[in-house]
Amino acid sequence: MKVENEAATLAQCPIAPSQKILRGKWTLVILYFLSQGVLRFGELQRKLPNVTQASLTKQLRLLEEYKIVHREVYKQVPPKVEYSLTEVGQGFIPVLTALEKWTTDYQELQ
């Protein structure tokens, strides 16, 4: 019975669905860099040197699946792929700004 109550409580939490989208280790950092403008895969990878290519690809695909990130493929040789925030992703920028401020304030406490 306790498990049912916990599930009901979780279902009532209005931010629980966002946890599913933001669960990736690098998701917030990827969104931060994309909030600054369109980036090619290699540019994003250079900004995140500790992320493997496979991990970055997986995170970007999940964000694309959730319609947070747009992937534009240009048919040219060599292939060119750019990533940007969708309109839904752009709506997350105020959250990133608030998180950046909170992080700065928190670091000053240390």
Domains of the chain listed by start with CATH number: 2-109 (1.10.10.10)
Q: pLDDT tens for residues 48-102? A: 999 999 999 999 999 999 999 999 999 998 889 999 999 999 999 999 999 999 9
pLDDT average, residue stretch 37-53: 95
Pairing of strands 69-74, 39-40: unpaired
Three-state SS for 13-82 is CCCHHHHHHCCCCCHHHHHHHHHCCCEEHHHHHHHCCCCCHHHHHHHHHHHHHCCCEEEEEECCCCCEEE
Q: What is the dihedral of CA 91, 96, 102, 107, to 10 degrees?
A: 180
pLDDT of residue 1: 43
Q: What predicted TM-score, i.e. pTM, was given to this entire model? A: 0.85
Q: Alpha-carbon distance 60 to 83, whole Å?
A: 8
Question: Strand, coil or helix: what is 83?
Answer: strand
Q: Count other C-beta atoms under 10 Å from residue 58's C-beta.
A: 14
